[in-house]
Structure 1
Amino acid sequence: MTHPTEQHGLDEEFEHKPVPLSHRHRLSSVAAVWFGFPMIITNAVFGGIIAYNLGFSRALLAILMGNAILLAYVGTLSFIAGSTGRNFGLQAERTFGRKGYAITSGFLASVVVGWYAFQTGLTGTTVHASFGWNETATIIGATLVYTGVTFIGIRALSIVGMIAAPLYVVLGLVALYLIGAEHSLAAVFHYGGLGTGSMMSFGGAVTLVVATFADSGTMTADFTRWSKDGKSAVYATLTAFPFANMTAQLFGIVIVCAGAAAAPATQGGDFMSVLTSHGGFLSAIALVFVFVNLGSVCTHCLYNGAVGWGRIAGKKMRTMAVLLGLLGGLLAVAGVWSLFLNWLNLLGVLVPPIGAVIIVDQIFVRHYSYDDDVPNFRGSAFAAWALGALAALFVHGMAPWFSEAVAGMLVGAVAHYVLSQGAMREVRQRNGLL
């Protein structure tokens, strides 16, 4: 059976209804969407910053824990998506209400557009610093390319992932080979970091790992709704967390622990300068790498934003991709990427409880398979989100050694479960389970 198409001949994106089983994609295609997403230079930066603060062994443990949390969190949301075919907006609607979902979905869709703007701006900054190209012109060109790829749809994201992941691994290994010629890689395992002088706690490091994918991880349904079933959606997520995400972070950890990072406190394990400093063919490949690597992030985030705002505004994903893509490009030219740390702090506190509330609601309270009436607003879900966010803020200020992301998830989940006890009994009676 052929896929339904829109007027321009591209496949339907199902912004406003679940993806029918007849139009789901094979596992390798969905996995490529997620597998290629974390294989980005930004993860090498973060991995290196964590190693600089905590040392090799503690940094390795922090990213292991962070990725385990992401697998459980994103994997469960993906299972629901693959089982139902619903995108994040439709998923959030069942938990937060027919009108209430617009608050959570709109918030997250705006956050990912901010990430898109940041990474588009970073493209211009990186290319200017490495190759001397005009920064503004590069940002404008990147905006047009990234928006055009997103316009094609989910299949384009799959292709980008198939290119981005192998290219990252190959060039990362090349960078390590070049570094090994000047630094002893055997010293990596003994790197102690800043020790007691570190401003980053272990819990803060775990939060950083979770926060980097808290937004698109919560919106994973936009990607994994294309899976054949829930189990396939989990397998697709598994390729990202822990495998792709940890691989990308490990390159940064090794580079910093080997003493080869130019500015480990701020740029972590960024290995772009290692590639470009050798000039010639390697420098040309590095230029392609910048656009493919950062383009992978930008297209994924813009897709999330376009699907989310498309659902809210009653528009097609492609219409919103063009509008948001151009808006993000303008923000990138204006220098919004300088607000980077503010975005991370916002994500770590406010986003994880949203997904935790959805998980509890659709696994334990109102199962995703139930066909119940949905109110305009579900107060218990919003209250649980607020309590989770407050708990995360408290941990951030009073107990920084613990992970604020984990605190927000746990409190949000428990709060929604407790607040929904009465509703749970009614739902079970209605569905003949009591």
Structure 2
Amino acid sequence: MSAPPDSARPPGTSDPSVPPSRSAQLADEFEDRPVPPAHRRSLLSVSSVWFGFPMVLTNAVFGGVIVYSLGFARGMLAILLGCLILGGYVGALSYLAGRTGNTFARVAVITFGTRGARLASGFLATVVIGWFAFQVGLTGATLNTALGWNTEVTVLVAGVLYVAVAYAGIRALAVIGWIAAPLYLVLGGVAITLALRDSGPGSVLSYGGQAPAGGALTFGACVTMVVAGFIDSGTMTADFTRWSRNGREAVLAALTAFPLANLLALIVGAVIVGAGAAADPGSAGGNFLGLLTDHHSGLLTSAAVIFVFVNLGSVSAHCLYNAAVGWSQLTGATMRRLVLIIGALGLIVALAGVWEHFETWLTLLGVFVPPIGSVLITDQLLLRRLAEARPDGPVLRFSALAAWAGGAAVAAFVHYEGPQYCEAVAGLLAGAALYLAAERLVSGSRTPHRPERT
């Protein structure tokens, strides 16, 4: 089945098959049609967009909380499992994006129908605004704790800077990715070196976890934390990997982030907590900024400040880009106009203190988002021939929507009744199984009855 038909070009819009000038390239993000072959980007360029995304201080927090709850050995197992699940999930969705050049919203039309895709895309494009607001708020909270900076002023300045990066488009995301990833690795390495001054690698490896009895996260909850941390933008990976030259390069670009970059970022926080160097491992996990600023080195403190803005700015800009591209499909407005509108809304939410509720946010993501991607993967990869033979233009595909709802219901049940298990994985598997069952019922009901021969 071909990709959803392109909308007619507005008057004055250049033919996308003709390579435009440099200024035109910067002005067109192709949010309303497939990225033309002439505008596709190299594997290195697309990888830089994804690789730098998980290299974020939030992952150090998550990695530390997980190790604090489970101990180093079991914590690392949960981290590795979560990263591998994300790698398979995002890689499969990226293949579809690189093959078609379409955004998530346009890819989803095939599976969910025109209006059904609007529900899925609208939901994801909305929840990802929460991550933008979370990271902007975290910038102010982090620098307030480490250096005493005014939280509200810092949040306001950070928000304006991050909106500017997203406004510049995919090129700016690639550039900030190239800066954010090496900076995280270098300063994360410095923090680990400082943390290991009073304890050796052996003490880290033998760390058993010190969460209070009854207050520790379960193994399944820790795997969910890893998966939920990037499940929303991971589901919308097409907004980034549609720029790949083909499906294979899109998968390779996604794999640089999951499991590779995501695993490295989580390990830093895990080691900080394992070494006993975290100030508040129960809530702040492996946040290592304090290790960099407590030594009263002007150079190290300056580097830490730059790191916070670049690091959290990278993931904030990515999330805002996701939100703007998604909502551009729903409203018809340009991506850049929506960056300004959504950015202002996210900034207001950040000033309201949204970063204090990240555990509730992760639960929401871990329950409702995974079935969306698993239904889409099942339809367009496992049942590819049926999807390609399907007539264009269904308004709602009830089998896909029902499988999404059913998968989310199973995930919610696991969250409340079986917290020792991973609700994100439960939602993934349930969504796929329910969709396969629904499609079998639908196809069976459409098969004409043939009377037996006598």
Category of TM-score, reference length = shorter chain: over 0.9
Deviation at 1:376, TM superposition (A): 0.8
Contact 1:77 1:218 in 2 (8 A): yes
Deviation at 1:3, TM superposition (A): 4.6
Q: RMSD of the alignment, in Å?
A: 2.1
Contact 1:365 1:420 in 2 (8 A): no
**1:64-143 → structure 2 map (5 Å cutoff):** 64-143=80-159
Q: Provide the C-alpha distance between the structure 1 equivalents of 2:444 and 2:260, rounded to a whole number of angstroms.
A: 40
Find the partner of 2:357 among 314, 334, 339.
Answer: 339
Counterpart residue type for residue 217 of structure 1: G
In structure 2, the CA distance between the partners of 1:426 and 1:243, relative to structure 1 (3 Å rule), is farther
Name the SS of the counterpart of 1:293 in structure 2: helix
Contact 1:62 1:205 in 2 (8 A): yes
Counterpart residue type for residue 323 of structure 2: G
Q: How big is each residue's C-alpha offset from its partner over 1:187-210, in whole Å with a ceiling of 9 and x where there is no partner? A: 011111148655311111111110
Contact 2:146 2:290 in 1 (8 A): yes
Contact 2:64 2:270 in 1 (8 A): yes
Aligned residue in 2 for 1:203: 220
**1:4-403 → structure 2 map (5 Å cutoff):** 4=20, 10-194=26-210, 197=214, 199-279=216-296, 280-367=298-385, 372-403=391-422
Counterpart residue type for residue 367 of structure 2: V
Q: How big is each residue's C-alpha offset from its partner over 1:339-389, in whole Å with a ceiling of 9 and x where there is no partner? A: 211111100100000000111111133556557313111111110001100
Q: Provide the C-alpha distance between the structure 1 equivalents of 2:57 and 2:23, rounded to a whole number of angstroms.
A: 37
Q: Provide the C-alpha distance between the structure 2 equivalents of 1:241 and 1:350, rounded to a whole number of angstroms.
A: 20
In structure 2, the CA distance between the partners of 1:161 and 1:424, relative to structure 1 (3 Å rule), is farther
Find the partner of 1:406 among 413, 421, 425.
Answer: 425
> Structure 1: any 5+ residue segments left out of the alignment?
429-434
Q: Provide the C-alpha distance between the structure 2 equivalents of 1:103 and 1:5, rounded to a whole number of angstroms.
A: 36
TM-score by length of 2: 0.90
Q: Provide the C-alpha distance between the structure 2 equivalents of 1:250 and 1:259, rounded to a whole number of angstroms.
A: 14
Contact 2:195 2:276 in 1 (8 A): no
Counterpart residue type for residue 225 of structure 2: L
In structure 2, the CA distance between the partners of 1:7 and 1:100, relative to structure 1 (3 Å rule), is farther
TM-score by length of 1: 0.94
Deviation at 1:239, TM superposition (A): 0.5
Q: How big is each residue's C-alpha offset from its partner over 1:260-301, in whole Å with a ceiling of 9 and x where there is no partner? A: 111111111110000011221000000000000000110000
Q: Provide the C-alpha distance between the structure 2 equivalents of 1:370 and 1:170, rounded to a whole number of angstroms.
A: 51
In structure 2, the CA distance between the partners of 1:400 and 1:5, relative to structure 1 (3 Å rule), is farther
Q: Provide the C-alpha distance between the structure 2 equivalents of 1:231 and 1:426, rounded to a whole number of angstroms.
A: 36
Q: Which structure is larger by alpha-carbon Rg, 1 or 2?
A: 2
Deviation at 1:182, TM superposition (A): 2.5
Deviation at 1:415, TM superposition (A): 0.6
> Structure 2: any 5+ residue segments left out of the alignment?
1-16, 448-454
In structure 2, the CA distance between the partners of 1:258 and 1:397, relative to structure 1 (3 Å rule), is same
Counterpart residue type for residue 116 of structure 1: F
Name the SS of the counterpart of 1:74 in structure 2: helix
Query: How many residues of Structure 1 are paired with residues of Structure 2 in the alignment?
Result: 429
Q: Provide the C-alpha distance between the structure 2 equivalents of 1:233 and 1:35, rounded to a whole number of angstroms.
A: 12
